[in-house]
Amino acid sequence: MCYNTYVIYKLGGRLTAQDKVDFSKYGKSFQEGLAALILQDRAFSDQIQEVLETQYFELKYLQVFVAKIFGYKEKYNVHPTDKILLTILRTELEDETDAIKKQTRDYFSRIYNTDVRDEEFIKNTSLDFCRKQTLKEAMIKSVGLLKSSSYDEVAKVITDAVKLGSDSDFGYDYVADFEKRFEIKARDPISTGWDEVDNLCRGGLGNGELGVVIAPTGAGKSMVLVHLGAQALLQGKTVVHYTLELQETSIGIRYDSCITGVSLSEMHSFKEMIYEKVLEVPGKLIIKEYPTKSASTQTLKNHIEKLKQRDIKPDMILVDYGDLLKPVTVTREKRHDLESIYEELRAIAQENKCPVWTASQTNRSGLNAEVVTLEAISEAYSKCFVADFICSVSRTIDDKNNNTGRMFVAKNRFGPDGLVYPAKMDLSRVKIDVLPSTGETIGEIQVNAAKQQSEKLKERYKQFKDGK
């Protein structure tokens, strides 16, 4: 038994037989793979950052590489993109030697767009690697402490090293974390402005949650998203609104109308009054336009990173609308592309710890439907599985003439769904009110609508016969 191993043994460090082998068994290949995963897998990076010190890497260029990633995360509270890290490695290595600079940049070039081999093995053994490297440092430090007879300090150093990671947050403890399940603050929901909807989803959409508004063309998808954004603004939130169909100024005018109550046709007549109202809005709104099918979710991520560098952190993100995004990876089937887009939108919600609202087009069956159900969702029904909350908006010709409509709660992870709510919808003023449910089922609404249509036809026929 070597001297350092003997020290740990005597101090009750409980080394296993496996621990007593050479610490360098996690060699260059393992450590390079670990550093690559820290860049490529944000969730894993967040976890391992709690226990991994950069000096655990035995190669200087890996220490520098990981230090830049962790430093950026701590400064901006967000994971760096490949492009941002490349910029950092080009501009922020002035304190390193030319050899280290070259090795670090060469390493980044090697792993760029390259999948890590043995990913699962590295993830499963990363904590063991950290523990062994900590033990290695502890043994070296213990030699000097023993020379000064600091036995208590030696015991503390070794004990801390052995229990590394045992109290880290690598999961949710069902019993110990019981109270967290009932904390509203954990979700930090943002009100929709509709009491009926808020009651269903426990205060509104919260952190990391995805909401989808389904509607046919012209039914008011964009208006609903503007309404949700305006409500968040009035609550003092920072809203980022991506438009892939309308111009930034058009979206801005809709917000003006929603907040002030001035109709879209009268905007220019009340310009000064509107400006005064806008100045009083407590929140912050950023509207970003991308041409249809020109932007992907990665484009949105890059823009969000730019905003955060300017100390603008979104509290709510609106995407008008998801179907018009370009998939990051194009497949041969549109439904797979759409499914991946909605999965990535939910990932954006989780990464930024805020709600994301988007919209989706219906197929032809939803054009004149009294109530738009999930069966009418365009192209990819599977995108419904990703969302936390889905509501639809339907407006018949009569509804449009009478400024009315219906909202149907199609999916709700937080409570009941399958409920239909009448709505007042004055789209000329971007004013949408969801009224209490009448208790009618979809079937009853459809039957009543059919009866009304039949009566109208009979009345028209009678008028025709009478020559009116």
DSSP secondary structure of 54-68: GGGSSSHHHHHHHHH
> pLDDT for 221-266, tens place per residue?
899 999 999 999 999 999 999 999 889 999 999 999 999 999 999 9
Question: What six digits make up the tokens of 72?
Answer: 């950026």
Yes or no: say if 13 and 157 are a contact pair by the CB < 8 Å rule.
no
Q: How far is CA 142 from CA 2, 7, 160, 162, 274, in A?
A: 14, 8, 12, 14, 71
Q: So what's the pLDDT on residue 15?
A: 39
- Mean pLDDT, the chain, rounded, equals 81
Whether the upstream peptide bond of residue 112 has omega within 30° of 0, thus cis, is: no
* Amino acid (one-letter) located at 436: P
Integer Cα distance of 153 and 271 in angstroms: 72
pTM of the model: 0.61
Q: Is residue 205 within 8 Å of 184, Cβ to Cβ?
A: no
Q: Phi/psi at 422 (nearest 5 deg)?
A: -70, 155
For 64-85, write each residue's pLDDT tens digit: 999 999 999 888 888 898 889 9
What percentage of the chain exceeds 70 in pLDDT? Answer: 76
Tell me what pLDDT residue 367 has.
Answer: 67
Closest CA to 338 of 303, 385, 371: 385
Question: Coil, helix or strand for 103?
Answer: helix
Residue 108 three-state SS: helix
Task: For residue 237, give the 3-state DSSP assignment.
Answer: coil
Q: Measured on CA atoms in the order 240, 244, 248, 250, is the torsion positive or negative? A: negative
Q: What's the pLDDT tens digit per position in 373-425?
A: 777 665 656 677 889 999 999 888 888 889 999 899 989 999 888 889 999 99
Task: Identify the residue whose tokens are 């050479």.
Answer: 22
Number of neighbouring beta carbons within 10 Å of residue 55: 11
pLDDT in tens, 294-349: 888 888 988 998 898 889 999 999 999 898 998 877 777 777 778 888 989 999 99
Distance (Å, whole) CA 301 – CA 296: 9
Residues of the chain with CATH 1.10.860: 3-162
Place of tokens 């007593």: 20
pLDDT band at 364 (very low <50, low <70, confident <90, very high): confident
Strand order in the sheet with 210-215: 284-289, 238-243, 316-320, 356-361, 210-215, 389-394, 404-412, 419-426, 431-434
What pLDDT score was predicted for residue 136? 76
pLDDT band at 366 (very low <50, low <70, confident <90, very high): low
The pLDDT score that the predictor gives to residue 225 is 96
Tokens 């005064």 correspond to what residue? Answer: 276
Q: How far apart are CA 402 and CA 67, in angstroms?
A: 62
Q: Would you state the structure tokens that stand for residue 88, as one six-digit string?
A: 């950092």
Give how far Cα 33 sits from Cα of 101, 110, 117, 219, Å.
19, 11, 7, 51
Instruction: State whether residue 73 is helix, strand or coil.
Output: helix
d(CA 213, CA 371): 13
Domain 195-440: state its class: alpha beta
Query: Which one is predicted more confidently, 347 or 370?
Result: 347
For domain 3-162, give its CATH number from 1.10.860, 1.10.540, 2.60.40, 3.90.1210: 1.10.860
Instruction: Pick 152 or 46 by higher pLDDT.
Output: 46
